[in-house]
Amino acid sequence: MSKFVFGTASLFNVGGSSQRRDLLAAAVDNGFTHFDTAPYYGFGIAERDLAPVLKRHPDVTVTTKVGIYSPGGEAQPAATVFLRKAAGRILKPISRPTIDFSLSRAQTALEGSLRRLGRDMIDIYMLHEPELALIETEEWHRWLENLVEQGKVRTFGLALTEDRLLPFLDNASPLCRVVQMADSLSTREADILPMRGKPLQITYGYVTAERRKGLGSSVENILKAALRRNADGAVIVSTTKVSRLPQYSELCAETDVDL
């Protein structure tokens, strides 16, 4: 996995299909070897846009998720997605995600993600912002382990925020095999992991958090500090502009790590 992971949550904002796919292709050309996506990102479009890039680069790996789904499903054309997102700014339910942690829905979601990504295996399969009370941990763990044995998933884990992660850590959940969580330089939410003997693995949210708090550091300095903080893991980043992609390898070089 590359030190920086390319996140696709905002990919739909890039523009048309060719622009989005050009951006993803350029990310690989600039050293990214891992992408983070989900059925909810672009209402299925992010996964579909990744398919041709993954086909051309079979060594590139991907994380996708399960549990949060698109209103209207993941097969909507781009024009419908645009209209739904635009209308959702006024009428929130139109673009509000569906949350379903039933295993029957998860099995359907897995098959859909594999089909949209054009792959036989998902490298990291994450439960997307689950609450411990919503899932039967042993049942989910057994299902995910079976997927690993069947070769449909390489490994699995949780993608969530500190408040939702704590109950899983406190209950020593086997679902904490890989943890992707929001973190920041000032609040250091991910410290809950080393406090419980787990390393920082995949973290995100550094630039957004610092800007929300009105701190004056540049994006470059924030990301350099994020690399130093999560020295042994990976940091999710995102951009909508091809011209900004070279900065990530430059930041790695300046921080003396390989992208």
Q: What is the pLDDT of residue 212?
A: 85
Q: What is the pLDDT of residue 84?
A: 86
Q: What is the pLDDT of residue 256?
A: 81
Q: Give the separation between CA 159 and CA 110, rounded to whole angstroms.
A: 16
What's the CA angle centered on 249, arms 246 and 252, to 5 degrees?
145
Q: What is the pLDDT of residue 85?
A: 85
Question: Do the Cβ atoms of 180 and 126 come closer than 8 Å?
Answer: yes
- Torsion sign across C-alpha atoms 71, 74, 77, 81: positive
Q: What is the pLDDT of residue 237?
A: 97
Q: C-alpha distances in angstroms, 192 versus 19, 161, 179? A: 39, 11, 11
What's the CA angle centered on 96, arms 177 and 121, to 5 degrees?
35
**Spans in the chain with pLDDT lower than 50:** none
Question: Do the Cβ atoms of 238 and 208 come closer than 8 Å?
Answer: no
Structure tokens at 75: 């097969």
Q: What is the pLDDT of residue 258?
A: 78
Q: Give the separation between CA 35 and CA 1, rounded to whole angstroms.
A: 9
Q: What is the pLDDT of residue 255?
A: 87
Question: Do the Cβ atoms of 202 and 232 come closer than 8 Å?
Answer: no
Q: What is the pLDDT of residue 126?
A: 98
